[in-house]
Amino acid sequence: MSFSLFFRKAVYVTLLGAVFAVPAIRTMHGGASAAPPPGATLGPSGLPLPRFASLKADRVNARVGPSLSYPVDWLYLKEGLPVEILQEYDTWRKIRDPDGSEGWVNKILLSGRRTGIVAPWQKGKSVEIPLKAEPGKEARAVAFLQPGIIGQIRSCNGTWCEMSFSGHRGWINQNLVWGAYPGELFKD
């Protein structure tokens, strides 16, 4: 099983202690709605599909279908985890998580608050990703982030996203964030 913030079936819940090791931040010294991604359509709610959201609760069941009569397939244990909404049916939303798993979640368990995961595809590697003071390759780094850390997305300009991580605020290359589409413009 890979290091993850969610599990297949409830039988894995006993592994909580190992699962919530939070990636570290090493500090250096010293509104408007998002534009839908290309190819997006409007869902029954009037909002674009696909779109990003986040989990509102620290325990969220993802089901194999859109009602309580379907069995639970995943148990998510991390409030703020970014998810991608793929489909809508009544009060249910089909989501995809950062690992690519899909399931149905009731919309009351989702938030429009945008969060993102830094380079989850680099998790477990010895890599530090700079959080910049301003957008741009030459900007000064204010912190270095480990892959897999979750932060709040404040805005994206199509190339860089302004994010907050445990009191540290700065800019990260948009291609290194799972939770914002490439080229997406966004401002909270």
pLDDT tens for each residue of 84-113: 999 999 999 999 999 999 999 999 999 999
In this predicted model, which residue has the larger pLDDT, 34 or 119?
119
Residues in CB range of 74: below 8 A, 6 or more apart? 6, 7, 8, 9, 61, 62, 97, 101, 103
88 and 76 in a common domain? yes
Distance between CA 19 and CA 148 in Å, rounded? 12
Structural domain of 78: 41-113
Distance between CA 188 and CA 178 in Å, rounded? 17
- Which amino acid appears at position 90 of this protein? D
What is the pLDDT at residue 188? 79
Flag whether 141 is in a domain: yes
Flag whether 29 is in a domain: no
What predicted TM-score, i.e. pTM, was given to this entire model?
0.80
For residue 182, pLDDT beyond 90: yes
Residue tagged 């409030």 (tokens):
79
Closest CA to 95 of 108, 82, 79: 82
Q: What is the total count of domains within the chain? A: 2
Flag whether 17 is in a domain: no
CB–CB of 171/160 below 8 Å? yes
Distance between CA 94 and CA 167 in Å, rounded? 32
* Tally of residues, the chain: 188
Residue 145 belongs to a domain with what CATH number?
2.30.30.40
> How does pLDDT run across 121-167, given as a tens digit for each residue?
998 898 999 999 999 999 999 999 999 999 999 999 999 999 999 88
> How does pLDDT run across 11-50, given as a tens digit for each residue?
222 222 223 333 333 333 333 445 566 677 999 999 999 9
Residue 24 phi/psi, 5-degree rounding, is -90, 160
107 and 63 in a common domain? yes
What is the pLDDT at residue 87? 97
What is the pLDDT at residue 34? 56
b vs e for 18-52, b when ≥16 Cβ sit within 10 Å of the residue's Cβ? Answer: ebeeeeebeeeeeeeebebbeeeeebeeeebbbbb
Flag whether 7 is in a domain: no
Last residue of a domain, one of 113, 131, 165: 113
126 and 106 in a common domain? no
Distance between CA 58 and CA 81 in Å, rounded? 9
